[in-house]
Each structure stands twice: as structure tokens, then as C-alpha cells.
Amino acid sequence: MTKEELHIRLNSGRISKPQINGLVQQLEKQPEMAQALFNEVLLEDKVGTFNASWTFDHLMRKKLIYILPIFEDFVNILSELKTESCIRPIAHVCEMVCEAYFKKKNPDFVQNITDDQLEKMMSSCFDWLIGPMNIAPKVFSMTCLYYLGLKFDWVHPELKLVLEDSYATGTTGYKNRAKKTLDKLAKLGV
């Protein structure tokens, strides 16, 4: 698949789940296309559609390693994303990266992701958590911030304050994840 073919497929109307799966199967064989797909996410953020970001999320579920060559670009745009239809899947990718780095301790991620890049992700996750987002980006951000707090000691106390402050007004799903996160923090003595 070429960049042009990818652009056409992503911009020819709404894509169904089976179409996403087929596209991801093709992209799994072309790691060099991850950058082109990511560029489509950035274009999409300006118009409020989500085909590219949905596809990017699903590709990363299969081949998260494909993010490493573009990770600097990825973290540099996090704070610039505007539409929730793009932020939601990108926040999920952030969660997967944090799990690969902190939970699985995948050496490809641990050795290739810098503290500066993690800090950029952390800043965006805090923005998404306290901003006027729906639940999904907030939930993904909570998980990211929990993991990031294992490296940056100031994060856990701040995360705890945010969660305690917002708990009462959160949705049922938000409260559920916030409680689990607060329980994990309590086990760490935060």
C-alpha cells in the first residue's frame, strides 16, 4: 500500500470495523507506513473524523513496536490534539506504551524512550484527565499516570489529589477506575 492509497482509503467515508481490520492486516506488513498513518491522524484532528486514529489504535494493538521510530513525533503532538475522536485512541496508545514500558518492562521500550518523552506524555495525560473529556481518555490517562508515577515521584500525589477531587462528580465508569487507581496508590503508601 502506498501513502496515497492509504489516504484514499481513510478519507472515502466512514470505515467499518471489518474494513479497519483488513487495513490493519495490510499495515502490519508495512512498518514504514506507521508514519504515514500517524500523519493521517494529524490531518484528521483538524476535521474531526476518526478513521485514521481508530486504525492507528488498532495497528498499535497488534504492532506497538511500530510506534518507536515515530515516538518523538508522537509525543510532540499530544498536547496539540483537539478533537476527542482523535484523543481517545491516542490516549489508548499512550496507555499501551506505558504498560509496555513499566508493566512488561519491554526492553525495546525501556531502552528507546527517554524521560523527556515520558514527561511530554505525562503532561498531556494530566491535561486530558482534568479537561472536559468524556470518560475514555480520562481512564486511559489515569492508567498512564499511575505507571508514570513509578518513575516520577511527584506524579502519584498529584494524581491522588485530582482523583479525590473529581471522584464525586465522575460517571460510574470514571468512579470505578478512579477507585481502582486510588486503591493501587494506597498500596504504594500514597
- pTM, rounded to two decimals: 0.96
| Closest residue by Cα to residue 13 from 50, 59, 42, 63 | 50
Q: What is the largest CA-CA distance in the chain?
A: 52
Contact partners, residue 120, CB within 8 Å, separation at least 6:
75, 76, 78, 79
> Which residue type sits at 95?
E
What DSSP assignment string belongs to 36-92?
Answer: HHHHHHHHHHHHT--HHHHHHHHHHHH-GGGGGGGHHHHHHHGGG---HHHHHHHHH
117-139 confidence digits (pLDDT tens): 999 999 999 999 999 889 999 99
What tens-digit pLDDT sequence spans the chain (190 residues)? 999 999 999 998 889 999 999 999 999 999 999 999 999 999 988 887 789 999 999 999 999 999 999 999 999 999 999 999 899 999 999 999 999 999 999 999 999 999 999 999 999 999 999 998 899 999 999 999 999 999 999 999 999 999 999 999 999 999 999 999 999 999 999 9
pLDDT score at 26 = 96
| Cβ-based neighbour number of residue 104 at 10 Å | 11
pLDDT score at 46 = 84
24-37 confidence digits (pLDDT tens): 999 999 999 999 99
pLDDT score at 131 = 93
